[in-house]
Amino acid sequence: MKRKTKTKDKKSLILKIATAASVLVMFVVNTLANTIPINGMTTGAVSDSIKIFFVPAAYVFSIWGLIYLGIVLYLFLMFKKYENFDKKISLWVIIGSLANAGWIFLWHYELIYSSVILMLVLLGSLIAIHLEMNKEKVSIWKRLPFNIYLGWISVATVANIAGALYLANWNGFGISGEIWSAIMIIIATTLGLIAAIKKNYAYTLVILWALIGILVRFSGVSDIVAVTSLITVILISVFFGIKLYIPNKDEKRRRK
């Protein structure tokens, strides 16, 4: 019995170290990407070179700081209390972290088509983590980092695919890039609203953050993109407010 317990503890320790190591690799690569920078270009510079109407204002990318902080918090909680949930998602965290790091190299060396594959791997790993969270009772502090991360990568995946299509000179079935951007904004808004319905408010707020950034960037540049962004920002804000107000109202009635 003791031998089994020791073996189990050893496996758990290996998984914890492997998870932390993969996250460290991701942190280091992302830091070097903009400090060296890799291939002589920052991540933002590569994004700016691809002229699509779905990339938000530069300040919006500061959300990565929040994402990294959240992942550090998760690692701290994981080492403090290693649960069944942590064991189940460890492989997905490792895959996602390495995909993130690999994406940086492909993006900086302008291998945009190939970068879409790793972006989809990263998105898939975060979806897998999200599905595991729904199966078990997990602390909000362990959930929150991945909900924020998933929200941002959902937006980033759309932008990545749009960038690849732009470079492939895809004619968009004769539809202009601005109209396609409006369509993508509506899709992102739909995802944000669905998340709000399911009470994944962190995901919704990330979508809102990205849409405000698109509005800021394209105001005075594209009326179609700016107006669509403005309408969807108002829609999500109102819906989000209603979702928060109704439960509070019901709670007050119960107290009476």
pLDDT tens digits, residue range 106-126? 999 999 999 999 999 999 999
Residue 244: what pLDDT?
83
Q: Domain spans of the chain? A: 1-166, 171-250
160-194 pLDDT, tens digit per residue, is: 999 999 999 999 999 999 999 999 999 999 999 99
Contact 153, 119 (CB under 8 A): yes
Terminal Cα-to-Cα distance of the chain (whole angstroms):
54
pTM score: 0.93
The Cα 47–Cα 224 span in angstroms is: 21
Dihedral (Cα; 89, 90, 93, 94), 10-degree rounding = -150
Question: Which tens digit of pLDDT belongs to each residue from 221-246?
Answer: 999 999 999 999 999 999 998 988 87
pLDDT tens digits, residue range 22-67? Answer: 999 999 999 999 999 999 999 999 999 999 999 999 999 999 999 9
